[in-house]
Amino acid sequence: MKKILVLCTGNSCRSQIAEGYLKHFAAGKAEVYSAGVVTHGVNPYAVATMKEDGIDISGHTSNNITEYTDIDFDYVITVCDHAKERCPWFPPGAQKFHYDFPDPAKATGTEPEIREQFRAVREQIKTYCRNFIQQHLS
C-alpha cells in the first residue's frame, strides 16, 4: 500500500484538507498522513468547510514532520512554498510534488467572506487531490 505525506507550514488548514480528500479519493488504496514544519492545531474553519462537502476531519490532529521520520513514504506533497523551503527533512525515497495553495488561515473580512475564502481553497485542493489519486494510484 502506498504511503502519502502532505506537508504544510502549520498542519492546520491546507494539509488537513488535502489529507481528507486524498483519503476519500484513494478509497483505501493508500495510507495518508499530514504534518507541518510546526503545529498550529486543526483550524475550525477547515473542519467546517470539509463537513460542508461531506468529509469529517474533526478527528485529525496537528502533527510535526519529525513524528514521521521512521515511515518510508512513497509520495510527499508540499502544499505551500514555506513548507517546501523550510522542511528540515524529506523522506529520501519519496517522489516529491508541490503546489502552493493560498493560505485560508490568512482570510480576512466578514464571517461569510472568510468562509467563502476557505471554500475556494477547499475546491482547489479537492481538484488537485482527485487528479493526484487518478494519476498515481489508479
Instruction: Report the run of H or E that residue 133 belongs to, with start and end.
Output: helix 111-136
Q: Which residue of the set 4, 5, 8, 129 is catalytic?
A: 8
Is 8 catalytic? The answer is yes
Cell of 59: 478527528
Is 87 catalytic? The answer is yes
Is 80 catalytic? The answer is yes
Q: Which of 48, 89, 53 is nearest to 71 (CA)?
A: 89
Q: Which of 70, 42, 73 is nearest to 56 (CA)?
A: 42
Q: Which residue of the set 6, 80, 121, 129 is catalytic?
A: 80
Q: Which residue of the set 3, 31, 74, 87 is catalytic?
A: 87
Residue corresponding to grid cell 525515497: 93
How is the chain split among helix, strand and coil, in percent rounded to 5?
45, 15, 40
Q: Which of 82, 95, 87, 27 is nearest to 55 (CA)?
A: 27
Q: Which residues are catalytic?
A: 8, 80, 87
